[in-house]
Chain A
Amino acid sequence: MASTSILDKLKRNQIIDLLDKGQRFDGRPFDEHRPITIETNVIPHANGSARVRLGDTEVVTGVKIQPDRPFPDMGDKGIFICTAEILPLAHPTAEPGPPQEGVIELARVVDRGIRESGMVDVSQLVLEKDKSVVGIFADNSVTDHDGNLFDACSYASTAAILTCKVPKWEMKDEKPTLVEGELSDPPITTIPVSVTMARIGEHLLVDPNSDEWACMDARITITTNSDGNICALQKGGNNGFTTEQIIKCSQTAISVGAKIRQKLEQARQGN
C-alpha cells in the first residue's frame, strides 16, 4: 500500500503557500539543489564506482568494463550501456520484481543523457573491427529514495565513468586476452550533467525532493554538456509547460549544470 507516499494535505498546502510567497519548505532558493556529496572508488573491485548523496537520496553506481561483441552494423564502435534499479530497501513502496514503467523510464533517461552527450568516445573502444570491442556498463542502484532519482543517477554514473580505469586487451588467437597491470583512463569527450525541475503551479523548482515531487504538476529533466549545449531532454508528469517555462528551464539547466559540473570535475581530480 502506498500509504507512506501520500503527502498529507496540510503539508501540501504549506508547500504551495510558501511557494506563492517565494519560499521553499526546506529554505532553498528555487534554483538550488540539495547538498551533493560525491565519493568515488567505493567499490574497488569494479572498474569504476561512485556513491552520490543528493539530500537524502542516495545512489551507488558501479562500472564494469569487459570485452564484448559489437552491435550489428556498429562494428567500429564499443558498447556503452547504463542501467538503473530502485532497490527494494530504498523505499517502502519499492517492490522487488520486474521493473515497472517508472524505473524503466529512469534507466532510459539516464542512459540517453550520457550517451547522447557522447561522453564516452566509443570509437576508441574497438579491439578488432566487427569482431571484438570493449563494453562499458554503468549500473545504478538507488539505495535511498527522497526524490529526483534522475539527477542522482546521472551524477553517480558520470562520476563513476570519469574515475574508472580501463583494462587493456590484446587479440590472441581471435580472442581478447587481458594484459595484466595495464590500465588507462577512459576516452572522455565531455561531462554531461542533468538538471531536473518540477513545476508546481507557476513555480519552477530545481531538484525537487520527494514532498515537492508529490505536489508537482509536471517535471522536466535537461542534460547539458561541457560546451553548455543541450544534449538530452525528457518531460514527465501529467500536466504541461508553457513555451516560456521550457525556455526558462533550459537556461536554468545550463547555469545550474555548470556548477554541478565543477563538483564532478573535483571528484575526477580527487582520484
Chain B
Amino acid sequence: MGDNKRRYVIPGEVITTGPYRPDQNVILEDKKIIATKVGISEIYDDSVKVIPLAGKYVPKSQDLVIGKIVSHSSLSWEADINSCYVGMLPASDVFGRNFQPDSDELTSKLGKGDLIAARIVNFDRSRDPLITIADRELGKIDSGELVRISPSKVPRLIGKQGTMIQAIEGATNATITIGQNGLVVVGCDNPDGLLKAKKAIRMVDEYAHMTNLTDKIKQMLESKSE
C-alpha cells in the first residue's frame, strides 16, 4: 500500500508499539497495539485504529439507519437493524405521549416487514438500542428497493463530502437513502436508472478498497444500458 501509516491487518497482528491510545478495533497488550478485526490500520499522532472490512453494525447515537420491523409487543416495535441487537421503537414515538396501550393498535401504524428510516437515540449495551422515527425525514418507507452492503463501506458510498452518492444519484435520477448500518434504499422511476444505481452500490461494496473505484463506477454509469 506504500504509505506505512496504513496497512492491511488481520486479528492478532501487531500494528505498532509505543505510547498510542487504542481507538476502534485495536487493543493494547503489553505496550503492543494489536488489531482485533480484519481491516485497514491507521496510525494517527496519538491513537491507532482499524477500519474493519467485516462485522455487523455497531449502533452509534444519532446515526441514521434503515430498519425492518420484525415484531412488536403492546408497548413497542422491534426492528432488525443489521446489528447484534434489535432496535427498540417505543409506541409513544409514533402515537405521542398520550399513547393508550389498550386502544391504540400498533399494527395500524407499522407491521411486520415494514421498512423504516430511523435514528439511533442512544445505545449503552445494557439494553437494546433505542430508535426514533419522529422527524421529518424519518418514518415508514413506502417505496424503493433495499440493497445491503457491509456497514464499513458506507463512508465510501457517501464519498468525500457526498461526492460518490451525488454522482450516482445524478447519473441515474435515483433517490438513495443510506443507513449507517449498511442498508440502502434506492428509488427510481426509470427501471434502467434503478438497475444502474443498484449496480453502482454493489460495486462500492465489492471494490471499496481499490484506488480506481470512482473511475470504474463513472465508466459503468456512463455506458449504454443493455
Please provide the chain A residues from 1 to 38 with a CB less than 8 Å away from any CB of chain B in the complex. 1-4, 6-12, 14
Contacts of B142 in A (CB 8 A): 10
Cα A1 to Cα B179 in complex, Å, equals 22
Least CB separation from A10: chain B residue: B115
If A1-B70, A3-B86, A6-B70 touch, does A12 touch B113 (CB 8 Å cutoff)? yes
Min CB gap B89→A, angstroms: 14
A4 to B70, CA, bound (A): 9
A10: contacting residue among B70, B80, B112, B144, CB under 8 A:
B144
The secondary structure that dominates the B interface is: loop
Q: Is B145 an interface residue (CB 8 A)?
A: yes
Partner of B114, one of A2, A4, A9: A9
The reply to whether B86 and A8 contact each other, CB–CB distance below 8 Å, is: no
Which one of A1, A4, A6, A14 lies within 8 Å of B113 (CB-CB)?
A: A6
Q: Are A10 and B86 in contact (CB under 8 A)?
A: no
B146 in the interface (beta carbon within 8 A)? yes
- CB-contact partner of B80 in A4, A11, A14, under 8 A: A4
**Interface core residue of A1, A7, A9 (most chain B CB under 10 Å):** A9
Least distance between A156 CB and chain B CB atoms (Å): 28
**Contacting residues, chain B, for A14 (C-beta < 8 A):** 145
Beta-carbon contact of A7 and B113 below 8 Å: yes
Find chain A residues with CB under 8 A from B71 CB: 1, 3
Chain B hits for A12, CB < 8 A: 113
B143 interfacial by beta-carbon distance below 8 Å: yes
* Chain B 123-158 interface mask (CB, 8 Å, partner A; 1/0): 000000000000000000111111000000000000
Residues of A within 8 A of B112 (CB): 6
Q: Which of A8, A9, A11 has the most CB of B within 10 A?
A: A8
A103 to B112, CA, bound (A): 25
CB of B57, distance to nearest CB on chain A (Å)? 14
For A7, list chain B residues within 8 Å (CB). Answer: 113
Give Cα distance in the complex from A7 to B70, angstroms.
10
Q: Does B68 contact A (CB under 8 A)?
A: yes
Nearest CB of chain B from residue A183's CB, rounded to whole Å: 45
A11-B68 CB under 8 A given contacts A3-B80, A3-B86, A6-B112 = no
**Of B71, B86, B113, B114, most A-chain CB atoms within 10 Å:** B113
Whole-angstrom distance from the CB of B68 to the nearest CB of chain A?
A: 5
User: Which residue from chain B places its CB closest to the CB of A9 in the assembled complex?
Assistant: B113
Contacts of B86 in A (CB 8 A): 1, 3
Whether A3 contacts B70 by the Cβ 8 Å rule is: yes
A2: chain B residues at CB < 8 Å are 70
Q: Which residue of A lies closest to B185 (CB)?
A: A10
Please name 29 pairs of A and B residues whose Cβ atoms are closer than 8 Å in the assembled complex, sorted by A. A1-B71, A1-B86, A2-B70, A3-B68, A3-B70, A3-B71, A3-B80, A3-B86, A4-B80, A6-B68, A6-B112, A7-B113, A8-B68, A8-B113, A8-B114, A8-B115, A8-B146, A9-B111, A9-B113, A9-B114, A9-B115, A10-B115, A10-B141, A10-B142, A10-B143, A10-B144, A10-B145, A11-B146, A14-B145
Give the A-binding residues of B (Cβ under 8 A). Answer: 68, 70-71, 80, 86, 111-115, 141-146
Which 3 residue pairs of A and B lie closest in terms of their CB atoms, listed nearest first?
A3-B70, A9-B113, A3-B80
**Known A3-B71, A6-B80, A11-B146; 4 more pairs at CB < 8 Å:** A6-B112, A8-B114, A10-B143, A14-B145
